[in-house]
Every structure is written in C-alpha cells, then in structure tokens.
Amino acid sequence: MRGKEHDHGGLGTILAHRLFARAEGGVGAEFVDIAVLPPGTSIGRHRHARDRETYVVLSGSGLMYRDGTEFRVGAGDVVVNRPYGEHGLVNDSAADLWLLVFEEELRDHPAV
C-alpha cells in the first residue's frame, strides 16, 4: 500500500492499493482500490464528473458526507456516490477504517 497525503484535501495520510485498473477503451470499472483510513484521517469532500464511486466498508467505522447529509457508516455498509455528487469520509474512530472503492464511468449520464 502507498500513502496518499491529504487525499482530496482530507486530513492526514491514508493508505491505498490499486487492485485493478481498466485498460484504455475497456469496459467495466475504472478502478478497484483497497483503502485504509487510520484514526483521524479523511478523504476530503470532492466531486467526480460522470463517475459513480462506490465505497464498501470492510471494517471500522466513520462519518460519511454525501450531498449535504452526514451519516455513520460501519462494516458491511455500501455507499453509492452519484455522478457529480459531493462526498467525503472521515475516520473519527479509534480503529482503522478499511474500504473497497470502485468507480465506473456512466458514459450515458448527462453532464451537469
């Protein structure tokens, strides 16, 4: 895993490993990552274009922000971040927060 400092303007350094990256012109997911947010770190609030990014919480817990709403997430939760939506995640717990993250471009989704 490699360190990503201030991911999307977030706090601290998260760890990430790219399990899969789609070949140029290919179909399916853009990428699949494993991400670890140590206590006190975050993925800053950000937006994607036509991409739908999904977080699957593998272990740990945190506070998710999505499109103006904050809510708790924990192991087993799946959060779908819509195209052009704003989202971010903070690990405000005492244990590591492990995520499976995958992103897919929705080519037929209209631009905003």
Task: Give the model's pLDDT for residue 96.
Answer: 98
N-term to C-term CA, the chain: 34
| Span 55-96, pLDDT tens digits | 999 999 999 999 999 999 999 999 999 999 999 999 999 999
The structural domains of the chain, with segments of one domain joined by +, span 2-105
Number of neighbouring beta carbons within 10 Å of residue 98: 17
Question: What are 30-50's pLDDT values in tens digits?
Answer: 899 999 999 999 999 999 888
Three-state SS at 8: helix
Assign residue 2 a region: left if phi > 0, alpha if psi is -120 to 50, beta otherwise? beta
Q: Is the pLDDT of residue 112 over 60?
A: no
Higher local confidence (pLDDT), 3 or 108:
3
Residue 103: which residues within 8 A CB-CB, separation 6 or more?
Answer: 29, 30, 31, 48, 51, 52, 53, 54
Nearest CA to 11 out of 94, 109, 108, 92 is that of 92
- Do 40 and 108 form a contact (C-beta atoms < 8 A)? no
Q: Is the pLDDT of residue 53 over 70?
A: yes
Enter the pTM of the model: 0.89
What distance in Å separates the CA atoms of residue 98 and residue 89, rounded to the nearest whole number?
12
Report, at the CATH architecture level, how domain 2-105 is classified: Sandwich (2.60)
